[in-house]
Amino acid sequence: MSNKSKGSNAERALVKLFTENGWRALRIAGSGVGDESPCDVIVGKVGRRGHAIEVKSSKKNRIYITKEQIDDFMRFSLMLGLSPVIAVKFNYQGWIFLEPSVLEDTGKYWAVSLENAQKNGNKFGQFFEN
């Protein structure tokens, strides 16, 4: 299975998680392929603020994201009045949701380690239902 299809499957699984929990979720097809779709998923719920979500999954214990991708993602989120969220999934771990401000600056990239995600992130219910 290619990295692209693994990423698409992760996005679909996340959309299903939101839907099962009473949120409306939309996966953005072709996300990450140019300026037209700078986020992976948009979610909303009556009475709650909407979120733009950048989805990342990895077999490794560290995920790298280009600074340009995060800049585009943040600009898009704020332009639409959506709260930006990074959703990460490491092998054999559930989804962890992070504020972009906790990403680590490596110089060329923004990064998130499994340790950082566990320390600074929250599970679905903690992040979206509180």
Catalytic residues: 31
User: How many residues in total does the chain contain?
Assistant: 130
